[in-house]
Amino acid sequence: MVEQLTVSLPALKGRSVVSMMEWTPEEIKQILNTAQWMKGNRETVQSRRVLAGKHVALLFELPSTRTRVSFQVAISMLGAESVSLDWGSSQLGRGESLEDTARVLSRYVDGIVVRAHRHETVQALRRHATVPVFNALTDRAHPFQILADAMTIREELGGWSGIKVSYLGDGNNMAHSYMVIGAKLGMDITIATPIEYQPLPQIVEWARGEASLTGGSITITDNPERALFGADVVTTDVFVSMGDEGDLDRKRHLMQGFQINRNFMKLAKPQAIFLHCLPAHRGEEVTAEVIDGPQSKVFDQAENRLWVQMAGLSHTLG
């Protein structure tokens, strides 16, 4: 049975969410169970107002649609208020240090949601803040997105153990996040990327060690066809991420063979689902017939961002 909102692990109170690497499988499942319960009990959740009187700052260095809106709605539904800051028009844009910003915001708000180019930025804010810090995307991790993906996988396929997830494309924050959540929940994760764009070796090594404890596995390859064979979940991300630098034309050229299309989907299991964290570039990393087809669950996946963020906020700030 999915656990109700009132059932919580005491260790979650006051916790930051910077990477799922720092969370145990039991803690991750607690968040996911609460998110599922909240999704089925929206009116009850709103009536409880478990975060009434609290304030959460939203600090964004990068553009956002889903993350900004879903966090604002999540905060409101829990009875709290959001304070939205634009990086460039705040004092950070004029050179104020992350340390001073973290200390000051901690005097005003109960939590800080941050979207930043570099993972080190969120880590620095967490070190100097005295309130929980929530990673809304960095170049290394996208924790709430991957929680939403895990929630969607369980909704569609019934669980996580033994599920094969095949990710094609850039070895970016989503590739890292799939390895982390897969290792924590016992999934078999295959990452297929061009050799030049494989995920960070230290995260691969860490994930393989963690997967050995949960019955999962981590496979890295440059062969997309081999990666897709027998997959339960097929997923990708944009080929060029926010903040990418370098020869982007060359990158797109190397990525062409990793586009998810109808023929590639045929290599997966017949009941396989397609996921994409969005925004998507139809005709680049995925064809329109796949992302808009019957196997695509991308909008259910996008909705689940709201519920996992509500669950995370309620457990850590409540």
- Mark whether 237 is an active-site residue: yes
Q: Are 17 and 134 contacting, i.e. CB atoms less than 8 angstroms apart?
A: yes
CA distances from 260 to 221, 236, 268 (A): 16, 8, 11
Q: Which of these is catalytic: 126, 139, 276, 277?
A: 277
- Mark whether 252 is an active-site residue: no
Alpha-carbon dihedral 139, 229, 159, 64, rounded to 10 degrees: 30
Q: Which of these is catalytic: 149, 237, 301, 315?
A: 237
- Mark whether 282 is an active-site residue: no
- Mark whether 277 is an active-site residue: yes
- Measured CA to CA, the distance from residue 297 to residue 309 in angstroms comes to 19
Q: Are 161 and 140 contacting, i.e. CB atoms less than 8 angstroms apart?
A: no
Q: Which of these is catalytic: 36, 66, 110, 115?
A: 115
- Mark whether 249 is an active-site residue: no
Q: Which of these is catalytic: 145, 259, 301, 309?
A: 145
**Residue 194's CB: how many other CB atoms inside 10 A?**
18
- Mark whether 305 is an active-site residue: yes
Phi and psi at residue 190, to the nearest 5°: -115, 125
Q: Which of these is catalytic: 140, 176, 305, 315?
A: 305
- Tokens of residue 76, six digits: 């409101």
Answer positive or negative: Cα dihedral of 115, 297, 161, 230. negative
> What DSSP letter does each residue of 231-284 carry, written as one string?
-SEEEE--SS-TT--S-HHHHHHHHGGG-B-HHHHTTS-TT-EEEE-S---BTT
Q: Which of these is catalytic: 15, 140, 142, 315?
A: 142
> Which regions of the chain does DSSP assign to beta strands (E)?
55-60, 81-86, 111-115, 133-135, 164-168, 188-192, 217-221, 233-236, 273-276
- Measured CA to CA, the distance from residue 39 to residue 144 in angstroms comes to 16
> Which residues participate in catalysis according to the annotation?
115, 142, 145, 237, 277, 305
